[in-house]
Amino acid sequence: MLETKKLLQKSAAKADVILEILDARLPKASENPLVNRLCQNKTQVKILNKMDLADPKITAQWMDYFKKERNVRAIAINAADKSLAAAALEFATRDIQRNRARKLKLMVVGIPNTGKSTLLNTLAGKKIARTGNVPAITRHQQRTSLKNNIDIYDTPGILWPVIEPEQRAYALAVSGAISDTAVDYQDIVCFAANLLMKRYPELLMARYRFLDRLPGDETDLIEQIGAARGCLKSKGRVDYQKAAGVLIQDLRSGKIGRISFETPFDISSDEEENSVHPFV
Ligand SMILES: Nc1nc2c(ncn2[C@@H]2O[C@H](COP(=O)(O)OP(=O)(O)OP(=O)(O)O)[C@@H](O)[C@H]2O)c(=O)[nH]1
Ligand SMILES: [Mg+2]
């Protein structure tokens, strides 16, 4: 990780534009503090990727939020979509003073699993970089030449050693940016269940039609999913681990619907109250 960080710092110094790929479902929690340091005196473009999985109303709120941040420009996309990826490239480079004799260097950075390599592949129009829905797929920096005299650099996802507050770690785990084993799985499940029951009850009820009422708590929800989906152990007891896995996979993949894990309001109430519990 230290080596990667050093390499990123070296490359960033030579880059014209830094594209920070965030997860649109958790745009603050998926920011890496290191990126701000890499971006000194550079155009910093935040790309809220996976917008197809995020709640569109909340994404619009995030766009307003980032408009108010100084020296930052933000755009929401789905990196697998050709025209949206092209729009992001245009957005990122449009104010840059170009010296046509020299290639424009774009560097794609961000935490693991946010879609950096997917964006590179879509822009290149072919599969150059390996992608996958687990963290840390890309291990080395990779340069690709695009049209219009542009070089784009894909980089390995980077995280920092201690993720705080805990809610941030849970949101990152549900999104797939950190592995399920990095955080207590029970806590991740409680976070996901509470988010769905409090913020998206209609989507929850629509996905799990066997629920005849909104579950009273997370245990109730997992028990009902386990019973209905046959996640059972001996003597018909619910296998909580398996049932929880169903919920997490459904949420992560968008099967429950378009869901955001945090809102700009959570951030400001955190700052005001110094609270670390944005979802309760
Ligand atoms: N739904 C959706 N999935 C996406 C999008 N972009 C990427 N993905 C998926 O997210 C997963 C991670 O994508 P990658 O491109 O490998 O992410 P990465 O940031 O390069 O990950 P690392 O190399 O591990 O840091 C893959 O399963 C992609 O198919 C998107 O806009 N929408
Ligand atoms: Mg990658």
CA angle 60, 65, 66 (to 5 degrees): 100
For 173-200, the pLDDT digits (tens) are 999 999 888 888 999 999 999 999 999 9
Compute, in angstroms, the gap from residue 280 CA to the centroid of ligand 2: 33
CATH number for the domain whose boundaries are 166-273: 1.10.1580.10
Give the separation between CA 114 and CA 116, rounded to whole angstroms: 6
* pTM for the model: 0.92
Give the separation between CA 48 and CA 266, rounded to whole angstroms: 18
Q: Which of these ranges, 66-75, 111-120, 217-226, 261-270, has the smallest mean pLDDT? A: 261-270
Q: Residue 106 — very low, low, confident or very high, per pLDDT cuts 50/70/90?
A: very high
Q: Which CATH architecture has domain 2-154?
A: 3-Layer(aba) Sandwich (3.40)
Helix (H) or strand (E) holding 75: strand 72-76
- Contact residues of ligand 1, CB 6 A cut-off: 49-50, 52-53, 78-80, 110, 112-118, 131-133, 135-138, 156-157
Ligand at minimal distance from the CA of 121 is: 1
List the chain domain ranges.
2-154, 166-273
Compute, in angstroms, the gap from residue 244 CA to the centroid of ligand 1: 23
Entry field: residues in the chain: 280
Question: What is the residue-averaged pLDDT of the chain?
Answer: 90
Q: Which of 131, 144, 153, 158 maximizes ligand 1 atoms within 8 Å of its Cβ, making it the mutation to test the pocket?
A: 131
For 120-150, the pLDDT digits (tens) are 999 999 999 889 888 888 888 899 999 989 9
68 pLDDT more than 70:
yes
Cα radius of gyration rounded to whole Å, the chain: 20
Ordered alpha helix ranges (H), the chain: 2-14, 33-38, 56-67, 82-93, 116-124, 166-175, 185-199, 201-207, 218-229, 240-253, 264-273
Q: Work out which ligand 1 atom sits closest to the CA atom of 253.
A: 1
